[in-house]
Amino acid sequence: MTDSQSPALRERVLALRRLTSLFRLRPFDGATAQGRGHERDRRAVLTFMSTMAARGIAVAVNLALVPLALHHLGVERYGLWMTLNSVIAMLCFADLGIGNGLLNALAAANGRDDRTSAREYTSSALITLCGVALTLGIAFAVIYPAVSWASLLGIGSRQAAAEAGPAIVILGAFFLVNMPLGMVQRAYSAYQEGYWMSIWAGLGSLLGFAVFLVAVRAGANLPLLLLAVGSGTVVSSALAGVHLFGFRKPWLRPRLADATRTAAGHVLRLGLLFLTLQVAVSVAYASDNLIAASVLGLESVPQYSVPFTLFNVPAMFVTLMLAPLWPAYGEAIARRDTAWVRRTLKKSLYLSIVASGLASFALVTAGKPILAVWVGRGIEPTWALLFGLGVWLVVSSAGNAGAMLLNGANVVRFQACCAVLMAGAAVVLKIILTRWFGVAGIVWGTVIAYVTFAGVPYVMYIPRLLKSLERRVA
């Protein structure tokens, strides 16, 4: 070992020791800035690992559910199940972004050690979410009798037609109940304790699967199977709420007397900005298959969507890795710990680019044989599509690293404006480039729009944000 190599090697060894020191259950000392920084890192690592485990359980349960449900229900009734789940998934914005607004408000209150404001936020958010759920429930009760659900969903068999209405009622009820229960997950995340929610989510998946097996053995129909599967999520979320407000943080427990118009307005304003951001991003990304079908025909959709699904696996991995930093940034900024913010941003950018870059290189070079083994020879992506998906994986991962800081810093209006411009440009570019270059034009339209209206503005804005935060400290 040469003298020039020794410092570099020592630095790598120290970095490895710092990383391994985070894998522990005992918290770091929060009395110092260094200890608080280590504790944020430790909680982020625990949340990432537990989330990966919970997602693994959910994926395994879903894989096991598919053949069982398909065999028990038959093709048409199973298709009805999948269709209804897709409709419910499209209603993810119905909480008006209040959950994300609550997360930011609680993270900032945590950084100020302000328990009074935190309790006001949870109390106000719960009442607001219950009001939204009640309003949607009344609207659904009015609309439900006037709709012929079997005709709307194109159901042919008499049995499926008879089960459609009750199945919709059960899924709608679960959706409305989970809306206020969702604040439990946001509260855990705001205090950088998302690992607790992951544990409860994993238990909920296993509980739902166990009840589903009992229901299948009893010969249950579609509505009862939906009730069995959904019960796991509701029960686990309720137990998570009891654990959070009864044992972990009883001082955070929502009370009607603590709800204030000011706190509700603050959470709702933040939530509406997040809602705008979410809708714009959804329009930009969810339009891909629709554009492929309308420009090139339905047969082109799997030629794009299947390779995209392959590249989406490492993208989800990077997103799960970055997500715990959102509330950590909020708490650190409230404590004016800007050194940790700047250091963590650099690390997260480096890790996300390296991880996505390695995955991108592997999937671009080996994408064709992987797809051939996975789905057969029917899907044959062009090199332009594979390379575009690889570029998009790296660009979006780096952008997500910056977005976590902006979310934690409450810079939502800027992101929403960027997202609206990006969504409009992406749709137009994807249509034009798809006509010129086929399905590869879809991803390249997304890349060009994202870099122009999100990537470049982020690169210009984030350094100014960091300097502004440092000036406040000075």
Q: Which residue has the higher pLDDT, 178 or 90?
A: 178
List the structure tokens of 459: 């690169």
CA separation for the pair 286, 431 (Å, rounded): 14
Please say if the pLDDT value at position 118 is more than 80.
yes
* pLDDT band at residue 16 using 50, 70 and 90 as cut-offs: low
What is the model's pLDDT at position 12? 57
Structural contact between residues 334 and 112, judged by C-beta atoms closer than 8 angstroms: yes
pLDDT in tens, 65-93: 777 887 887 877 777 777 776 666 656 66
Summary mean pLDDT of the chain: 85
Q: Is 66 helix (H, G, I), strand (E, B) or coil?
A: helix
Structural contact between residues 388 and 444, judged by C-beta atoms closer than 8 angstroms: yes
- Dmax over CA atoms of the chain, in Å, equals 81
**pTM of the entire predicted model:** 0.83
pLDDT in tens, 212-256: 899 888 888 888 888 888 888 889 999 999 999 999 999 999 999
Q: What are the distances in angstroms from CA 170 to CA 23, 131, 220, 224?
A: 42, 20, 14, 9
What is the model's pLDDT at position 240? 93
List the structure tokens of 433: 């480039």
Extents of the domains making up the chain: 34-272, 287-474
pLDDT in tens, 386-408: 999 999 999 999 999 999 999 99
Token look-up 């009760």 returns 141
pLDDT in tens, 25-73: 677 777 777 878 878 888 888 888 888 898 888 878 877 877 788 788 7
Q: What are the distances in angstroms from CA 246 to CA 113, 128, 235, 265, 470?
A: 19, 21, 16, 26, 38
Q: Is 313 helix (H, G, I), strand (E, B) or coil?
A: helix
Candidates 51, 348, 80, 90; CA nearest to 202 is 51
Helix axis angle for 383-408 and 325-334, nearest 10°, is 30
Exposure string for 127-150, b = 16+ CB within 10 A, e = fewer: bbbeebbeebbeeeeeeeeeeebb
Whole-number percent of the chain with pLDDT over 90 = 37
Spatial neighbors of 384 by CB under 8 A, at least 6 apart, are 437, 440, 444
CA separation for the pair 128, 232 (Å, rounded): 25
* pLDDT band at residue 288 using 50, 70 and 90 as cut-offs: confident
CA separation for the pair 98, 253 (Å, rounded): 18
CA separation for the pair 341, 274 (Å, rounded): 22
What mean pLDDT comes out for the span 322-351? 91
